[in-house]
């Protein structure tokens, strides 16, 4: 049974699981998004006494914090006991595209030259990660939610602002991949 769980699952399994969760959230009148957890954590910490944005009934959002904690615990369980010992299998075209960007595929989930300890602790890597984190934080606040909130929950609710945000995410990703990434690396 463990070997079956460790194998790559078909893409449609994830789609079915996400749609099942979205139907349940719609039924209970909830909206999904991870970045809203940061607002909830700030409200729990008492930031609502100083900043009006954090002054709301955070107890109604405890379910989303439980989802966040469950995701962290699930990720830990998978990485410790259920991960495959074999290198990640990518298509030849993906490997060629990555090589074209100067990224060496080492079989890991994330390329170590971009996400490894050596890169993260280098001055260039630290600056890139700090700048990227600030831009993601600003962008998710400016867009009124993160990619998961807009792309999964917002589009499921047929919200036009979420459609605009998702189109913007894809355009930003394409610009980063094809124009900025080669300049940075």
- Domain coordinates in residue numbering, the chain: 1-83, 116-184
The distance of Cα 132 from the centroid of its chain, to the nearest Å, equals 13
- The answer for residues whose C-beta is within 8 angstroms of residue 138's C-beta and 6 or more apart is none
pLDDT at residue 126, rounded to an integer: 94
pTM: 0.73
- Contact between 43 and 56 under an 8 Å Cβ cutoff? The reply is yes
- The answer for residues whose C-beta is within 8 angstroms of residue 37's C-beta and 6 or more apart is 61, 64, 65, 68
* pLDDT(34) > 90: no
Q: For 121-158, what is each residue's pLDDT tens digit? A: 999 999 999 999 999 888 888 888 888 888 888 888 88
How many Å apart are CA 24 and CA 18, to the nearest integer? 10
Q: For 82-119, what is each residue's pLDDT tens digit? A: 877 788 888 899 999 888 888 888 888 888 888 889 99
């Amino acid at each position: 049974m463990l070997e079956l769980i460790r194998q790559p699952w078909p893409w449609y399994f994830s789609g079915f699981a996400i749609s099942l969760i979205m139907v349940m959230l719609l039924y209970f009148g909830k909206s999904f998004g991870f970045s809203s957890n940061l607002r909830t954590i700030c409200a729990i910490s008492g930031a609502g006494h100083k900043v009006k944005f954090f002054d709301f009934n955070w107890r109604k959002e405890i379910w989303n914090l439980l989802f966040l904690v469950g995701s962290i615990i699930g990720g830990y369980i998978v990485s410790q006991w259920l991960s495959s010992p074999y290198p990640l299998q990518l298509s030849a075209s993906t490997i060629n595209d990555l090589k074209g960007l100067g990224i060496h595929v080492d079989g890991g989930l994330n390329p170590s030259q971009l996400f490894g300890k050596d890169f993260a602790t280098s001055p260039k890597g630290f600056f890139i990660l700090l700048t990227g984190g600030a831009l993601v934080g600003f962008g998710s606040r400016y867009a009124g939610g993160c990619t998961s909130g807009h792309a999964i929950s917002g589009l499921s609710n047929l919200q036009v602002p979420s459609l605009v945000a998702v189109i913007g995410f894809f355009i930003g990703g394409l610009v980063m991949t094809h124009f900025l990434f080669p300049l940075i690396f």
